[in-house]
Structure 1
């Protein structure tokens, strides 16, 4: 589905109205294409902390060109940067925060289109006193800068636990590249829960080669795009969907040379059937994506148990209870391989709430609770994370009334809706073997929506 407003503001009349009326002017976001470099330009690295000295070498290993601010005249005429990375792990007091201004201010007008800005910090809960104060302050800084940077740019804060410095590659690869086009203002923790190490990635173009990925709700929309991206990254995809979507599911999986399983995930025996199929046909699974979801909107006062189909129970069963049961069965039977990935699809509604969606918001907040519950329990390098999409342009959102749809698309720092590929790319980052130290995170794919945390 196209964004007609975005196309209009690129016309001469549209540009004139934007300038004179102060209307939103969404930039055209760059998105990664297969075979392209991760970063098409130079990344400026600054700051003095635990990661500063190793960052150029780490970025070089990803094929990303970088220069340290101390080694170049960052403000020299004609210098432009595709990314800025500041190591703030050395900030130990409130007075040290001036280093943020000193690094960023001189170069903000030297950024290329769709730039990527990252601040690296230390998890505040792991330090005390003035250092804890300074590190917590980074969240306000990055979220505010995300709303200022413009031109399709993004700003993120990555808290890196002590000892996890070498496990940041997959996260930097995602956040510095066009793969993170619709992710901004987020706080990511690396090494804060579970291991501080990461598995080696031998091919950054196909990090999932030889792996098996299960995707529920894979026949259309976001689920189909998740399947396509995981396949692009090398995985054999096993798509799951209900009998009503069987023909579409078979078509998509056939195109991806994958496999399919037709069943209702809310069925009593669904977890056992999925576990048995994965063991017998594929020897287990490496990536589990709980994407299947439904909405049955109605205000709570009108959502009686006698309501046709029981709107409350249907939504909870599909969106939350089924993922809980399937996850537990796969873990209990040892179907998830070592260094496996469990990924949930939550929603901004589960964070900020939404009128008429008490059932949906409860289910999606529950997905976040599932991440919180299991992150500290998992062993053998298995991780659990979730994405929380905002307004994503799909066939479903195309049916939303025009005024509601326009508000939903514009109420974020990028003044536009996201695409299914944006959700899929975030999931592919979580799924990477190199993301072993990325555990217990919930990352919003919402263009930094103005609602919610």
Structure 2
């Protein structure tokens, strides 16, 4: 669905009118396109006291071919980058008035262990933020607070969340800001996450906090993969794949090299076949609400197994709880939540989801913040988050990760049917001042399904443009 306001204010006449009237002017987001370079431009490097991730930064920058400049806070960067054979220079604060000079800002806060040592963050972003171009990227990396050695370090690292979320709301112009907590020992497992957050693939993901765990972070080292098609040779089951977000997920996973098995209800078989046929995938037509469906799905997948399971299928039956029927409550809980449990139980028990696999479930910001008239839906989506958090430790021994994405306002057929005022409010109540696209959800899922994301598990990532709801 098209956003007429976004289109208008980004036209020559509309832009002039918006400026004269003081109207908000959302940026047209730069999204990933296969025919355009994914990385390029200058990336500014900053650091706090005793940074521990600069070597990992250098490996990433060398891998993607960007050029770096060092802020004065990162005094160790220039000699380190030179040793890695990188093109680099020094960022001059006087350049702060040069808008668009920088493509990304990357700050290593891993060594900050006291609140009195947070000042380099101010210095770095004070000097560089105005030089960051439209749709630029900000990523701060630190240590998980809960893994810190003492309360002062925990306090300082937890403070990073307030900084990053505020940067995302201040920067505007399509700029995203995200925080990655890197557990000690997982430094070599951060490249896939940096590639996602510093690329156009994360266009609608901002204000998020992600943890990379040491256990599992190096699992991808043993198996080589092509960054251009990292899912080559892998099989991915996507539920609700006939149309909308599910079809976008299937398309992106296939573009990453996966063989996609699309699943949807029998009545959607024609649409499912049309979608998956274009991807050279396979189809399954089952009603996941049926008691026997999990066993049927397991039997259909048994011979070849799967490496990735994406639980996208879901329904809404909105009413205030006083007017909601028992059937409306139970059907939403069953399809959105209980069916996921049944399917995973069947696939895991039989070993059909292979060791080292990925489970990604679609939750919702309604499951985080709640929503009037959606008690059933919000309950089911909060339950999805509970599944992710409770199952992650259990699956770690098998190298299987489980994560969730929580979309906000995404432009779909469902949101197109919303009343005008609610639809516009949903679009504008986020840092991007616009709705997301199905591909934004799909790209986030592809990152979580990536073989290089082995250290990312038990996480809930909102794809909401940093929505004000539940923030």
Partner of 2:267: 244
Answer whether contact 1:122 1:159 (CA < 8 A) is retained: yes
Among candidates 381, 396, 414, match of residue 432 of structure 2 = 414
Answer whether contact 1:161 1:196 (CA < 8 A) is retained: no
Structure 1 vs Structure 2 CA RMSD: 1.5
Answer whether contact 2:233 2:257 (CA < 8 A) is retained: yes
Answer whether contact 2:355 2:399 (CA < 8 A) is retained: yes
Partner of 1:178: 200
For residues 156 and 324 of structure 1, the distance between their equivalents in structure 2, rounded to whole angstroms, comes to 30
Among candidates 48, 59, 79, match of residue 57 of structure 1 = 59
Partner of 1:148: 170
Partner of 1:385: 403
Q: What secondary structure does 1:210 align onto?
A: coil
Give, in angstroms, the shift of residue 36 of structure 1.
3.3
Q: Is 1:7 the equivalent of 2:28?
A: no
For residues 21 and 122 of structure 2, the distance between their equivalents in structure 1, rounded to whole angstroms, comes to 31
200-209 or 151-160: bigger deviation: 200-209
| Number of residue pairs aligned between Structure 1 and Structure 2 | 446
For residues 61 and 218 of structure 2, the distance between their equivalents in structure 1, rounded to whole angstroms, comes to 17
Among candidates 305, 317, 340, match of residue 357 of structure 2 = 340
Question: Normalising by structure 2, what TM-score?
Answer: 0.92
Partner of 1:27: 27
Answer whether contact 2:40 2:65 (CA < 8 A) is retained: no
Can you list the C-alpha shifts for 1:304-332, whole angstroms capped at 9, x where unaligned? 32xxxx11011011100000110111111
Among candidates 120, 134, 141, match of residue 113 of structure 1 = 134
Answer whether contact 1:80 1:110 (CA < 8 A) is retained: yes
Answer whether contact 1:62 1:169 (CA < 8 A) is retained: no
> What stretches of structure 1 of length at least 5 have no aligned partner?
none
Q: Is 1:218 the equivalent of 2:241?
A: yes
For residues 167 and 219 of structure 2, the distance between their equivalents in structure 1, rounded to whole angstroms, comes to 30
Give, in angstroms, the shift of residue 18 of structure 1.
3.0
Answer whether contact 1:56 1:67 (CA < 8 A) is retained: no
Answer whether contact 2:288 2:294 (CA < 8 A) is retained: yes
Q: What secondary structure does 2:398 align onto?
A: coil
Answer whether contact 2:179 2:209 (CA < 8 A) is retained: yes
Partner of 1:302: 323
Question: Normalising by structure 1, what TM-score?
Answer: 0.96
Give, in angstroms, the shift of residue 35 of structure 1.
4.6
Give, in angstroms, the shift of residue 20 of structure 1.
4.4
Q: How does 1:39-188 map to 2 (within 5 A)?
A: 39-47=39-47, 48-69=50-71, 70=75, 71=78, 72-75=90-93, 77=95, 80-127=101-148, 128-188=150-210
Answer whether contact 1:341 1:431 (CA < 8 A) is retained: yes
Answer whether contact 1:38 1:64 (CA < 8 A) is retained: no
Answer whether contact 1:83 1:176 (CA < 8 A) is retained: yes
Partner of 2:337: 320
Answer whether contact 2:263 2:283 (CA < 8 A) is retained: yes
Partner of 2:388: 371
Answer whether contact 1:289 1:344 (CA < 8 A) is retained: yes
Partner of 2:283: 260
Answer whether contact 1:60 1:66 (CA < 8 A) is retained: no
Can you list the C-alpha shifts for 1:179-198, whole angstroms capped at 9, x where unaligned? 00000000000016x42324
Give, in angstroms, the shift of residue 129 of structure 1.
2.0
Q: What secondary structure does 1:421 align onto?
A: helix
Give, in angstroms, the shift of residue 271 of structure 1.
1.0
Give, in angstroms, the shift of residue 34 of structure 1.
1.4
Answer whether contact 1:38 1:173 (CA < 8 A) is retained: no
435-444 or 79-88: bigger deviation: 79-88
Cα 1:11–1:34 change in 2 (3 A) is closer
For residues 314 and 42 of structure 2, the distance between their equivalents in structure 1, rounded to whole angstroms, comes to 40
For residues 61 and 134 of structure 1, the distance between their equivalents in structure 2, rounded to whole angstroms, comes to 31
Answer whether contact 1:46 1:52 (CA < 8 A) is retained: no
Can you list the C-alpha shifts for 1:17-39, whole angstroms capped at 9, x where unaligned? 43344332110100011153332
The 4+ residue runs of structure 1 with deviation greater than 6 A are none
Cα 1:101–1:328 change in 2 (3 A) is same
> What stretches of structure 2 of length at least 5 have no aligned partner?
79-89
Answer whether contact 1:397 1:405 (CA < 8 A) is retained: yes
For residues 15 and 254 of structure 1, the distance between their equivalents in structure 2, rounded to whole angstroms, comes to 41
For residues 436 and 195 of structure 2, the distance between their equivalents in structure 1, rounded to whole angstroms, comes to 20
Answer whether contact 1:345 1:388 (CA < 8 A) is retained: yes
Give, in angstroms, the shift of residue 269 of structure 1.
1.2
Can you list the C-alpha shifts for 1:207-265, whole angstroms capped at 9, x where unaligned? 00010000000000000000000000000000000011000101111111000000101
For residues 231 and 305 of structure 2, the distance between their equivalents in structure 1, rounded to whole angstroms, comes to 15
